[in-house]
Amino acid sequence: MRTLIIYLLLAWLQSLWLPIIGQSTVPPSAVSQVDIVALLSGAQSIGQGPALTARTTSRERRIARRYMKLWMEELGLEAIEQNYRWPNLHPALDIILSPYQGTNLYCILPGNESAHEFVVLGAHYDSKLACPGAIDNATGVALAFGVLQQLCLLKERQKHLMLVLFDQEEEELVGSQAFVRLLQKENFPIHSVHTFDMVGWDADGNGEVELGDPSPRLQAIYEAHAQEMDIPTYVTTGGSTDCQSFLKNAYEVIGINEAYAKGDSTPYKDTPADTFDTVNFQYLTQVTQYVTRVISSIIQQ
C-alpha cells in the first residue's frame, strides 16, 4: 500500500514537473532515424502489413504517407495533406495524358507568440519505380524528422517551423512546385527553405556535405557552423532537386545533400539496390546534428 502511494505521488510530481522543465531528451514516442529509413525502404513493416518495395505507385506512396503521418502525430503535430493536380510539362501532352496527381504532407511546429516567419524543412518521399529508395530519399525524410524532433525540445522558437514531405520529386519536381503554389496562395511569410535529398553515403569518411544552390545568407550561416563543427562543405549550383522549385520563385533556399557532385554518392541511385543496408547512419546522424544546429540558430534569432 505504501509503495502504491509513493508511486502515485511520484507520478503526480512528474506530471507537474515535466511541463515546467521540459523534456531533456528526444520525445519518448519519437521514431528513430533507423526506423524511418527501415520502414520507408521496406527493411521493416508495421505489424503484419507488407513491407514497401518502393514508393512509386499511388498505393505505395499512400502507405508511406500513413507512416509519416503517424510520426508527425507522435510529436503532437497535426499532419496536413495537400492534394494537388499539376499540368504536364508541355501543353501538347495534355491531349494524351491526364494531369499529375499527388499529395504533399506537412505539419507546423508553432513558434512563440511573437513568431511571424516560417522556416521550411523539406524532403521528397517518393522513389523511382522498383527502387526501395533508402538513400534516395528515405534518408532525407529521416534527416528532416531528426531535426524536427530536436527542435520540438527547444523552449524558445522565434520562428514557426514547417516540415513538408514532397510527393513526385522523381517526376519533374511536381510535388514541390505544387507546394510553392500553396505557399504563395496562402501568403505564408517564409524566412528560408532547406531541402534534404540523399544523405546516407560517405565512402571516403570525410563527412563532407554538399550545399546546393544556397542563397548568400544561408551559405554564410551553414559555412560558419560547418567550420565550428569541422565539417567540410562545398557549394554546387544547378541541381535537379526540390530546392529548384523554390529557387525559381525567389525564396531563400539551400539544398543539403551527400557529396553528389564530387562522386562520393550512392552508386545505387534509382536502382533496386538502393537498400537499407547501404545507408551510412553515422553520416546521417552527423549531418542531422549539423543541420539541427543551423536551424536552431535561425529559429532562435
Partner 1 sequence: MATTRPYHRRYPWREICLWISLLLWIWKGMTYFFLGRVWILIVVLSLVGMLTYNQQPRNAIYSSLLRLWGIFLMLWGTIRLILALLMFFFPISDLHVRQHFGWLGNLYSLGSCVIGYIVFKMGNTDPNSTSKP
Residue 249 C-beta: closest distance to partner 1, Å: 16
Instruction: Return the number of the residue (58 or 112) whose C-beta is nearest partner 1.
Output: 58
Within 188-247, which residues bind partner 1 (CB under 8 A)?
none
Which of 74, 117, 171, 264: binder of partner 1 (CB under 8 A)?
171
Q: Which of 91, 216, 238, 263 binds partner 1 (CB under 8 A)?
A: 91
The reply to whether 99 sits near partner 1 by the rule CB under 8 A is yes
Neighbouring C-beta atoms of residue 106, cutoff 10 Å:
21
Single residue of 96, 155, 187, 250 touching partner 1 by CB under 8 A: 96
Per the DSSP assignment, residues forming a β-bridge with 123 are 165, 196
The strand ranges marked E within 20-148 are: 80-86, 100-109, 118-124
Answer yes or no whether residue 87 interacts with partner 1 by CB under 8 A.
yes
Identity of the amino acid at 221: I
Stretch that binds partner 1, among 33-41, 165-173, 202-210, 275-283 (CB under 8 A): 165-173
Per-residue cell: 196 = 534534404
Report whether 157 contacts 109 (CB < 8 A): yes
- Of 133 and 207, nearer to partner 1 (C-beta) is 133
**Beta pairing class for 209-212 and 253-257:** antiparallel
User: Which listed range, 66-74, 87-95, 155-163, 191-199, lies at the site for partner 1 (CB under 8 A)?
Assistant: 87-95
Question: What is the rounded distance in angstroms from the CA atom of residue 256 to the CA atom of residue 143?
Answer: 10
The answer to whether 258 touches 210, Cβ cutoff 8 Å, is yes
- Locate cell 522523381: which residue? 170
Stretch of 31-39, 82-90, 221-229, 280-288 lying at the interface with partner 1 (CB under 8 A) = 82-90
Judge contact between 33 and 288, C-beta under 8 A: yes
Q: Shortest gap between Cβ of 195 and partner 1 (angstroms)?
A: 21
Q: How far apart are CA 252 and CA 16, in angstroms?
A: 41
Closer residue to partner 1 in complex, CB, 172/223: 172
Inter-helix orientation angle 139-152/281-299, to 10°: 40
Among 1, 4, 21, 95, binds partner 1 (CB under 8 A): 95
Interaction site with partner 1 (CB under 8 A) = 56-57, 85-87, 91, 94-100, 128-129, 168, 170-171, 270
